[in-house]
Amino acid sequence: MQTSTSQSGVNFDSLISIGEVLVRLREEFPDISISKIRFLETNGLITPARTPSGYRKFSLINLEHLRYVLRMQRDHFLPLRVIREHIEAMERGLEPPTITDVAPAPPKSLMSLDALNSAANEKVIKLTFDELVAHANSSAQLVQEMLDYGLIKADSRNHFGNGALRIVAQVTHLATFGLEPRHLKIVVTSATREIDIFAPILKSARSGKNAASQAQIEELSLNLANGILSLHENLVRDILDHRP
């Protein structure tokens, strides 16, 4: 059975028509119409795919975004500008705000300090600088210093990921003891050297006739990283125990 695919790789057979969208939404939103959906598209709230003939095709994500927009309008009277900000944040992996919140927030589970154990299954997020400052309960000056000293890095679109959020929260906590980012640059150097220790092992696993699968490599990376962290923790404890 042939599937209909665009030049951009979109599989149209997995998408639904605007008529099907109306059917799925009408029970909750009786006043929904094609013109309403087109209006929301024009204002940047949804971006359906287009067939070569120009027909709109919607993904399930488009459908859920539509539901979110319509609920925010109906239940909370939010302006489209604010809802658009929420949608853009959701597309970056953030959770939409609750009724009393004023901005989207990272998943609460992300702030767990058991970072490596949950990293394989956690939701990937992308935060702006201001969002990073707010959700790590830090200050703009301190986060900027972390950037300057290489403790965190932004991607090509100036977004910060899961690791950056945890690092900022931890460095902010250490700052309460008088440790500043300039003091912690040595930790970055140490972490880089620790990674270099097991990089050849990962390289070997990726190459050769018996090259490991991506899942096996990720598991190997996690085990090595956890081993290094555990050793590091025990060494620090041992040094502290033997100091006068």
Q: Compute the distance between CA of residue 150 and CA of residue 188 in angstroms, rounded to an integer.
A: 7
Q: Compute the distance between CA of residue 183 and CA of residue 179 in angstroms, rounded to an integer.
A: 6
Domain boundaries of the chain, sorted by first residue: 12-91, 106-179, 181-244
Q: Is the pTM of this model over 0.85?
A: no
CATH tag, 12-91:
1.10.1660.10
Res 4 pLDDT > 80: no
- Which of 153, 149, 151, 189 has its CA nearest to residue 171? 151
Average the pLDDT over 226-244 and give the result. 80
Residue 124 has a pLDDT of 79
Q: Compute the distance between CA of residue 219 and CA of residue 12 in angstroms, rounded to an integer.
A: 35
12-91 with 106-179: one CATH topology?
yes
Residue 10 has a pLDDT of 58
CATH 1.10.1660 fits 106-179, yes or no: yes
- Using 50, 70 and 90 to split pLDDT, how confident is the model at 243? confident
